[in-house]
């Protein structure tokens, strides 16, 4: 096909784009529900935010323990770090033990 050659694109890619256009009228599929589901649900995130509202100087390992006790969810410190970052909380204090565990898991602050 001339279009594939003109765009320097593999012929098979061009064929898939044409098939998708014929099927759904778009050249890209909706990718909203792709990928792995988050480990922490929205209720877990609300719980963490409530914890931090009540006790803003909680350490990550204390948050981890509270999640396990209250919601029976066992998540890593790295997951808690990523969740806090996603929620807009940019930094947290770390206990020596938590900092050591984060270092072992490659989490950098």
pLDDT at residue number 31: 65
| pTM, 2 dp | 0.54
Q: How far apart are CA 48 and CA 93, in angstroms?
A: 15
* Three-state DSSP class for residue 94: coil
Average pLDDT, rounded, for the chain: 78
Tell me which of 94 and 63 has the higher pLDDT: 63
For 31, phi and psi rounded to 5 degrees? -110, 20
Summarize pLDDT for 56-82 with one digit per residue, the tens: 888 889 999 999 999 999 999 999 988
Instruction: Match 């609300």 to its residue by tokens.
Output: 46
Write down the domain spans for the chain: 1-31, 42-104
Cα 103 from chain centroid (whole Å): 19
What long-range pairs does 34-38 form, CB within 8 A, spacing at least 24? 38/83
């Amino acid at each position: 096909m001339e279009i594939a050659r003109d765009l320097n694109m593999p012929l098979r890619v061009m064929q898939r784009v044409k098939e998708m256009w014929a099927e759904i009228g778009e050249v890209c599929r909706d990718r909203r529900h792709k990928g792995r589901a988050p480990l922490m649900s929205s209720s877990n995130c609300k719980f963490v935010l409530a914890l931090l509202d009540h006790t803003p100087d909680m350490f990550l390992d204390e948050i981890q323990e509270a999640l396990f006790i209250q919601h029976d969810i066992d998540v890593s410190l790295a997951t808690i770090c990523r969740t806090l970052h996603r929620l807009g909380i940019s930094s947290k204090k770390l206990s020596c033990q938590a900092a050591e565990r984060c270092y072992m898991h490659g989490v950098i602050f």
